[in-house]
Structure 1
Amino acid sequence: MYKKDDVWRKVQDYLPLDNRLCSDTEPEEIFLHLKDGNRIHLDIYSLLNPKGIIILFHGVGGNGRLLSFLAVPLFKSGYKVICPDMPLYGYSEYTGTVNYDMWVKDGLEITEYYAKEKLPMFLFGLSAGGMLAYQVACQAPSIRGVLATCILDQRLETVREKTASNPYLVRFGLPIAASIKKWFSNIRIPIKWVANMKAIVNNKELAKLLMSDKKSSGAKISLDFLYTMLHPNVIIEPRDFNIPFCLLHPENDLWTSVSLSRLFYDKIECEKEIHMLKDAGHFPIEEQGLKTLQEKSLAFIEKHLYD
């Protein structure tokens, strides 16, 4: 699996030393068999007597292994960290047509599986994984807290247009997709055709590497996945959400401005906090931003560890 994959190894060169994988921190790889027939690949960072469990969800330009930059410091701080490859990405195996509803269902089943360990559990979503973590938490009341680097309500036209590779794709392509998806739901298109994948990271060389990777930013998604992601079923609206929430938004995110995240974040009425990651891009590889990400996320987690 990832032992034979060289993309994530090349990514390490762009990370601060403390965020790189080494022989002492490289995760165990397993498959979790789910009720829908999917075999979800997981990177497991495990240790004796962990303080809690943190599940990291990637977005539409990543996979579980690419989250190692955050998993490593969380693991070193005493937490068991789970990084799934969601269907269509990484090494997970799936059946049928993959849509965004499957992501939510599979994310929930993964969460419920690890909840059996009876440890404090947190969900942490990066990029589109932020809304995924929120949606899973809506159905998993045992979660102590939700963290995200962005939280995008794709039900809003302005969010759709400003995160697409071209706003006209949303204005004219989405109605077409709605009319034909019944017959062509499994047609697959590169995610970089429809999402502004060039802005996934503020390093052009790294962005090029990721977009060439068919297991991350170069992956193909089904038409049904695209349509359902842009029409998410949000079970609990933000005003009624009651799980502590922490937004850790990159300051120099060229893909998803914090103003887009605030359209959802500002409606959350439960305990919440927001922190900006100085100089960091959407995929926050910058050292100063990463330091803030680690410090503030761990402070939030410690605060709610025994709620």
Structure 2
Amino acid sequence: MTYGAWVDLAEELIREERERDGRPVLVVGGSVGGMLAYSAVARAGADGLAVTCLLDVRHAPARAAAARFGPFGTYAGPVMNALRPFEGVRVPIRWIARMSAMANRPDLNAAVARDRLGGGGRVSLRFLRTYLASAPEVEPEEFTACPVVLAHPADDRWTPAALSLPFFERLASEKRLVMLEGCGHLPVEEPGLTRLAEALGRLAADAARRPLR
């Protein structure tokens, strides 16, 4: 599995949903899924896109934030190239990602770190290398596929908003920023959680009023 295959699968899912019936299709991406959703929508189109962050790992500060140990992310290219002979090795996600910053609740962080579908799972070094070497499908100035909502946790201790805003501000599409007060990287706290639900509801209502794309 590579990161590119993830994008391919997300694109195929969106296309299938768009062809299945006449309803608008909204795509939501959280954390790493923000840029994944962005690239898939750039290919397949959608009626709305909501993300919690837009982490462009072409830039060293974004890579450093994504990794559990900042220097690993900063120098990911040379490190991952040196590890190419071992790309089939699968390592626990909690070894490479900052599970302690997933939320601002220690109990939830511990649960995520244990979850076999979360931090307790494993990922291949090949996937990690292809993710850290990835680029968005199109530059933000070329993105016109649909309106975008960046619903960013205001108290994100893993990937602060300052890492996403430069990319977001360059988007050519209609866009809206919503800060989720009190929320960590995984937005589960109030009042931000309610603001997230309201932002998604507004995005859906706006899409329902427009002609399908």
With the length of structure 1 as denominator, give the TM-score of the two structures: 0.65
Which residue is equivalent to 2:106? 204
Q: Count residues with an aligned counterpart.
A: 208
Q: Deviations over 1:86-120 (max 9, x none)?
A: xxxxxxxxxxxx11111101111111222222321
Q: Distance in 2 between matches of 1:176 and 1:104?
A: 24
Q: Distance in 2 between matches of 1:285 and 1:170?
A: 27
Structure 1, gaps ≥5 residues long: 1-97
Higher helix share: 2
Question: Given residue 189 of structure 2, which amino acid in structure 1 is its aligned partner?
Answer: E
- Given that 2:26 and 2:47 are in contact with CA atoms closer than 8 Å, whether structure 1 keeps it comes out as yes
Which residue is equivalent to 2:33? 129
Q: Deviations over 1:259-303 (max 9, x none)?
A: 011121111122100010111111111131111001112112211
Which residue is equivalent to 2:122? 220
Give the alignment of 1:262-277 within 5 angstroms.
Answer: 262-277=165-180
| SS of match in other structure, 1:281 | coil
Q: Distance in 2 between matches of 1:250 and 1:234?
A: 22
Question: Given residue 149 of structure 2, which amino acid in structure 1 is its aligned partner?
Answer: C
Shift of 1:179: 3.1
Give every structure 1 segment of 4 or more consecutive aligned residues whose post-TM-superposition deviation is greater than 6 Å. none
| SS of match in other structure, 2:178 | strand
With the length of structure 2 as denominator, give the TM-score of the two structures: 0.92
Matched, 1:188 2:90: yes
- Given that 2:63 and 2:74 are in contact with CA atoms closer than 8 Å, whether structure 1 keeps it comes out as no
Higher strand share: 1
Distance 1:132 1:197, change over 3 A: same
Give the alignment of 1:145-156 within 5 angstroms.
Answer: 145-156=48-59
Q: Deviations over 1:111-148 (max 9, x none)?
A: 1222222321011001111111101001112x111110
Question: Given residue 136 of structure 2, which amino acid in structure 1 is its aligned partner?
Answer: V
| SS of match in other structure, 2:27 | strand
RMSD between superposed Cα atoms in Å: 1.4
Residue from 59, 79, 84 that aligns with 1:176: 79
- Given that 2:24 and 2:47 are in contact with CA atoms closer than 8 Å, whether structure 1 keeps it comes out as yes
Q: Deviations over 1:225-281 (max 9, x none)?
A: 111111214221100100211100011111110001112111112210001011111
